Amino acid sequence: MAISPDVLEKLTTEEDLPELDLSWLNPQDGHKVTATRVRPGRRGLTLDEVEAGREVPEHSINYSLRPRDARGRDNVPRAGMYYPSKSDTWSENSRLLYEEAVQRQWSSATDIPWNTIEPLPDDLERAMCQLCTFLTEVEFIAGDAPGQWLPKINPDYYETKLFLLTQIMDEARHLDVFRKRALANGGGLLSEGQSGPALRSILDAKDFTEMSAIMHVFAEGFVQSLFRTGEYISQNEAEKTIYRLCAQDESRHLGFGVMHLKYVVESQPWRREELHHYLDQVEGPLSLDIQFGTSAATPFFDEAIIILAGGGRKNIDVGVQRLLAVRRRQINEYMHRLDVAGLPERRDRMNVVLKAFLDPPAN
Amino acid sequence: MAQEPQTQGPDIPEDLVKIAQDNNIPLDLVRRALALGFPAEAVKQQLAMPGVTAEAAEQFISQQEAMRAGGEVVIPDDLAEAAKKHDWPDELVKRGLRLGATAEMLISQMDAGLRPDQAERFITQQERLRGAAQPGAARSAEAGEQALDLSWMKVPTEWGIRVRPGKKGLTVGALNVGTYGDIPDYWPYQTEMPRGAYPIPGVPAMGYTIYEKAELWSDNAADLYEEAIQRRWRPATDIPWESIEPLPDEIERAMCQLCTFFCEKALLAGDTVGKWLPEMSYGYHEVKLYLATAEFDAARHFEVFRKRALCNGGGMGIQSPGYFHRAIIDARAWTETSAVLHILSNSFLMGLYQLGEYVAHSEAESNIFRLCIQDTARQLAFGLGHLKYFLIRKHDRREEVHTYFNKAEAVMVYDDENDNVLREALIILLGGGLIKEQILDGYRKLEYFKRRWVRDYLARLESAGLPERRERLHYSLKKYAEEPVAAQAA
Amino acid sequence: MTQGGVKTRASFPSTEWFEAVRSLVNSDEQYRRIGTCDAVVGVKVPDRQKYYLLTFEAFECSEVKESTEQEVDNADFWLEAPFEKWKELITNVKDNGKADLHHTLNTIDLEDPQGFARSRDGYKRDLFYRFNQSFQYFFDLSSKIETTFPN
């Protein structure tokens, strides 16, 4: 099959052969098309494989959408103002996490065994629905926040952009799956949560590293511990699957944040105090919640966990103990991540109310 | 060590028994600690601390029992001194000690800067939880419940919803039942409260700017969201990369130039939609969900075209003039953004993907373009759905929509006229080489395809309720538009 | 492919032929993995006056039936080509195990000035693009059928 020559002749508006420049076929840098081809490895054709041997610049004055390694043109209008330094937005694991995210996507519609959900006692169903209302609420902030940073990340550091795009997808699925769970078992959504002030601090961030420290390392770290708890207190296979899959996604976000923080600490050591300031800020509002009788979230949230963890309203004592265990795990895991990121002194500087849950150092 | 029989008092969890035995702490002491209301987790933590002895534990628990029995709480001298220095009232310090805090811990927190008002709130919370956690005979179930607020259990949201999975599993669209299916024309909440939940006072605004349904809605958003997830693909492993063979230099460079163009388009789409997501209020989550998948599409498109450009000896080409990017970046309303990005830009992007599939030299390329065609078709569907919804409800803004298209079409044409590199790459790919006959063939085919692109673009706008665009089309595009009768026949 | 050890044999165009492909599609795990597909697709072989409607729903092709031209005109979109073109497409699929690079649905569509995929509605026509891999897979699976072409 082919396009009819008659048709081509009839439809062509200018029959004269156009003048072609074709100078772009012979680039000034003398780059030759070589037979050196990149072949897929065990994980397919990954970004690490195609980028092997290519340099990522430490600084960039690219203010257009020119992809890294593409040749520039004169007179291209600026597309925005981007962060000029690699340190501002880079994380060494972003390619790996991006590929992992693409491979490990899942569907809340068909990958959750929804038919395993059985009617629950009213108190447990209400507690699960309150927890789901809280989670569907917080998850989308984590989708909106990366979105607003995308236009500020330099195309020369596209890996960070790609990673954030997967995070937006992940958070959408989380919003969606918890809404589904709330409406799948004879329940419904319940009360709006009380975590607004804390969530606002994520949107209020004025710097990418500030946002990442607050959202990826602090907030998502706490949510990650919560997902693991959710799996533990799940009443059926559907819920267990939901929490396991969400925890998987959340680990990638945390992984990005921790390694970005590490990159900043190592490449811009003069920012150490600034980073502590961000953590001071975020530990403040969230710990205020604790002082008002809640954990790193809200009283409603705490009470839902207490009921779910205790197995009902009649076992409040067990629920409280498990809530305290969750809280302790959250704080200790948070500190461990800061150790990895190169901020071990946070142990001494941590908000005292959080510090109350901190175990002594391992050694 | 032989296990002590558990006699009176609360049961000791098995793991706590083990920790106590490992640390040579009598189980009776543990039982007394639990009877005092200390959570098992807290006891475990204390026992695991280095240097804990049975004697120290006995002393501490005896003190606590004495306090609970109404005995006077004695503040040690060093603690009293620290409390005075930091303005902590004696009664607050005593409440802390009653809760089981050691003098050393309280001094440490005072020195670390814990203010008395902060401490007061924390201690109140701990007292409340401790009351709730009194086990067994020390607390009735009712007393435990009374320690909790539980107002969230009684909020007047719709209860009793049981959505079951259908042929496509449990979908977002299926959740829109009862009051959860009421999608208001105006969303009144500035917070992140999900649609259908019960609002509470005092939550700060999140800074959204779009609260009106007509400004962002598309009826197909929920379905497109699920469709995008089901039809996801993975560039690393779903493309038969090994099928790509070495190509003549000019063909390889032309393909790489096309890939470079697509990479820019993907960056643009990702940044643009990302910028708008935080502007959209939470009541219309279906739209935000779908756009999240479009963001994921953008990532995969950048990835797959960069990989194609770098995997076969070619490399990235030359950036585009960038004028048309600005027409999209500069849009100041979502409807403008969607019309220009999803409908105008994507109509021509779709045409280029079709062309890419047509000239594919390998299974890998053929697959890449076909998969991108699918993703882009969803974005087109969303854009058309939104424009249709907008035009039906905003009769007075039809002219405004034309203004957006007027500007964007003009800039797109200008950009195209200035992008001789992309044009030449397309001619080479369509003609198959550089000899004169191939160039002529490529040029003619490009003109042929441009007619199709304009035809499809106009057909889409007609379906969205904007048939008069045919008359108002930019004059440089108009020459590619067929007569209405012929277009209808097609 | 054999069904119960017997190779499926059918002539094109016929309801039996589309039923045979439908049956293959609905038992094919790879087709399901491509994702959901929702569209009513017409098939026109105008020089044989043959018209069919194929209904795709969720993860399956739920129905195929012979139809009238008028009904097909109301489908989301239809695929239209003279008998000889259909024969070339199906023969190419059979010879290669699937469409080669010059016989994909998209390529055939582009080469026809009126398009292979047509619709009265620009929005609905885009379903041809949205579910392109599913439709391509549908026709590629016909390689497992012994197709005969009546004169």
Distance CA B133, CA B139 (A): 8
- Contacts of residue C25, defined as CB under 8 A and 6 or more positions apart, other chains included, come to C31, C60, C61, C137, C138, C141
The answer to whether the CB atoms of A188 and B161 lie below 8 A apart is yes
- Using an 8 Å Cβ cutoff, are A254 and A221 in contact? yes
What tokens were used for B352?
């280029």
The reply to whether residue C125 touches residue B227, judged by beta carbons under 8 angstroms, is no
**Hey, is the C-beta of B462 within 8 angstroms of any chain C C-beta?**
yes
Residue with tokens 């709130």: B121
- The predicted pLDDT at position B117 comes to 80
Q: What are phi and psi of C53, to 5 degrees?
A: -120, 130
- Reported as a single tens digit per residue, the pLDDT across B16-61 is 888 888 888 888 888 888 877 776 766 776 776 666 788 878 877 8
ipTM value: 0.95
CA angle C4, C8, C9 (to 5 degrees): 150
A297 pLDDT above the threshold of 50 = no
Which of C73, C80, C101 would you mutate first to test chain B, the one with the most B CBs within 10 A?
C101
Secondary structure, 3-state, chain B:
CCCCCCCCCCCCCHHHHHHHHHCCCCHHHHHHHHHCCCCHHHHHHHHCCCCCCHHHHHHHHHHHHHHHCCCCCCCCHHHHHHHHHCCCCHHHHHHHHHCCCCHHHHHHHHHHCCCHHHHHHHHHHHHHHHHHHCCHHHCCHHHHHHCCCCHHHHCCCCCCECCCCECCECCCHHHCCHHHHCCCCECCCCCCCCCCCECCCCCCCCCCCECEHHHCCCCCHHHHHHHHHHCCCCHHHHCCHHHCCCCCHHHHHHHHHHHHHHHHHHHHHHHHHHHHHHHECHHHHHHHHHHHHHHHHHHHHHHHHHHHHHCCCCCCCECCCCHHHHHHHCCCCHHHHHHHHHHHHHHHHHHHHHHHHHCCCCHHHHHHHHHHHHHHHHHHHHHHHHHHHHHHHCHHHHHHHHHHHHHHHHHHHHHHHHCHHHHHHHHHHHHCCCCHHHHHHHHHHHHHHHHHHHHHHHHHHHHCCCCCHHHHCCHHHHCCCCCHHHHHHC
Of A79, A323, A324, the CB nearest to B325: A79
Residue C124 domain flag: yes
CB atoms within 10 A of CB A147: 27
* A21-35, B253-267, B306-320, B370-384: range with lowest mean pLDDT: A21-35
- Whether A145 and chain B come into contact, CB under 8 Å, resolves to yes
Does the residue A260 lie in any domain?
yes
Kindly state whether C148 is in contact with chain A, defined as any CB-CB distance less than 8 angstroms. Answer: no
Closest-CA distance, C151 to chain A, in angstroms, reads: 21
- The pLDDT value given to residue B145: 64
Q: How many structural domains does chain A have?
A: 1
CA A110 to chain centre: 23
Smallest Cα–Cα separation from A190: which of C7, B478, B158? B158
- Residue B105's pLDDT band, with cuts at 50, 70 and 90, is confident
Contact B166, A171 (CB under 8 A): no
Task: Give the HSE-up count for residue A206: Cα atoms under 13 Å, Cβ half-sphere.
Answer: 2
| Closest residue, chain B, to C79 (C-alpha) | B490
Largest CA distance in chain C: 44
- The pLDDT score that the predictor gives to residue B142 is 60
The domain of C136 spans: 9-140
pLDDT above 70 for A89: yes
Q: Taking the CB of residue C98, how many other CB atoms lie within 10 A of it?
A: 18
Taking the CA atoms of B187, B223, B393 and B406 in sequence, report the sign of the dihedral they define. positive
User: pLDDT class for A28, splitting at 50, 70, 90?
Assistant: low
8 Å CB contact of C88 and A11: no
Low-confidence ranges of chain C (pLDDT < 70): 1-7
pLDDT in tens, B413-428: 999 999 999 999 999 9
DSSP-derived secondary structure for C100-133: -TTSSHHHHHHHSTT-SEE-S-HHHHTHHHHTHH
Q: What is the pLDDT of residues A213-222, one digit of tens each?
A: 999 999 999 8
Give me the total of CB pairs closer than 8 Å, taking one residue from chain B and one from chain C.
94
**Contact at CB, C107 and A1, closer than 8 angstroms:** yes
C109 touches chain B (CB under 8 A): yes
C55 vs B: CB within 8 A: no
**pLDDT confidence bin for B62, thresholds 50/70/90:** confident
Query: For residue B138, is pLDDT > 70?
Result: no
- Measured in angstroms, the CA of B6 and the nearest CA of chain A are apart by 19
Percent of chain B with pLDDT over 90: 69
Percent of chain C residues topping a pLDDT of 90: 93
With beta carbons less than 8 A apart as the criterion, state whether B207 and B278 touch. yes
A15 confidence band (pLDDT: 50, 70, 90): low
Does residue B486 belong to the interface with chain C, where contact is any CB pair within 8 Å? no
Name the minimum distance, in Å, from the CA of B66 to any CA of chain A: 23
- Whether A107 contacts chain C with CB within 8 A: no
Residue-level pLDDT at B1: 39
| Residue A322 within a domain | yes
Q: C100: buried, middle or exposed (CB in 10 Å: 19+, 13-18, 0-12)?
A: middle
The Cβ of residue C116 has, within 10 Å, a number of other Cβ atoms equal to 21
Mean pLDDT of chain B: 89
Is the minimum CB–CB distance between C51 and chain B shorter than 8 Å?
A: no
Checking if the pLDDT of B5 tops 70, the result is no
pLDDT at position B369 is 98
Q: Which residues of B touch C35 (CB under 8 A)?
A: 227, 230-232
Which chains border C (3 or more CB–CB pairs < 8 Å)?
A, B
The count of structural domains within chain C is 1
Check: CB of residue C124 under 8 Å from CB of residue C77: yes
Greater confidence (B114 vs A311) lies with: A311
Q: pLDDT for B64-97, tens place per residue?
A: 777 777 777 888 899 999 999 999 999 999 888 8
Contacts of C5 (CB under 8 A, 6+ apart): none
Q: Which of B139, B323, C108, B285 is nearest to A137 (CA)?
A: B285
pLDDT the model gives residue B328: 97
**Contact partners, residue B230, CB within 8 Å, separation at least 6:** A107, A109, A110, B168, C35, C36
CATH code of residue C19: 3.30.1050.10
**Cis bond upstream, residue C13 (ω within 30):** yes
DSSP state of A194: S
Chain B closest-CA separation from residue C107 CA (Å): 5
Sign of CA pseudo-dihedral A181, A187, A188, A190: negative
Quick count: other Cβ atoms within 10 Å of Cβ B359? 23
Model confidence over A278-296: pLDDT tens digits?
A: 998 888 754 444 444 344 4
What pairing do the DSSP bridges indicate for beta strands C39-45 and C77-80?
A: parallel
Q: Tell me which long-range contacts A206-209 makes (C-beta under 8 A, separation of at least 24).
A: A208/A83, A208/A88, A208/A89, A208/A149, A208/A152, A208/A153, A209/A88, A209/A260, A209/A261, A209/A264, A209/A271, A209/A275, A209/A278
What pLDDT does A347 receive?
92
Q: What is the rounded distance in angstroms from the CA atom of residue A254 to the CA atom of residue A252?
A: 5
> Domain of A304?
92-355
pLDDT of residue C5: 42
CA-based nearest residue to A132, from A37, A258, A230, A215: A230
The domain segmentation of chain B, as residue ranges, is 14-135, 213-489
Domain containing residue A150: CATH number = 1.10.620.20
C-alpha distances in Å from residue B361, one per residue of B147, B246, B368:
71, 10, 11
* pLDDT at residue A296, rounded to an integer: 40
Of the options 1.10.620.20, 3.40.50.1820, 3.30.365.10, 1.20.1050.10, the CATH number for the domain spanning B213-489? 1.10.620.20
pLDDT band at B278 (very low <50, low <70, confident <90, very high): very high
Burial class of residue B419 in the structure, from the number of CB atoms within 10 Å of its CB (0-12 exposed, 13-18 middle, 19+ buried): buried
User: Does residue B54 or residue B165 have the better pLDDT?
Assistant: B165
> What local confidence, expressed as pLDDT, does residue A291 receive?
40
The per-residue b/e assignment along B281-317, b for 16 or more CB within 10 angstroms, e otherwise, is: bbbbbbbbbbbbbbbbbbbbbbbbbbbbbbbbbbbbb
| Whole-number pLDDT of residue B101 | 77
Residue A35 pLDDT > 90: no
For A:306-335, CB contacts with B below 8 A are 306, 313-314, 316-317, 320-325, 328
Question: Which residue from C36, C127, C133 is facing B371, i.e. has the nearest CB?
Answer: C133
Domain assignment present for C149: no
Whether C20 is covered by a domain: the verdict is yes
Average pLDDT of the residues in A139-160: 94
Cα–Cα distance measured from residue A74 to residue A355, given in angstroms and rounded to the nearest whole number: 56
Longest dimension (CA), chain A: 87
Q: What pTM does this model have?
A: 0.89
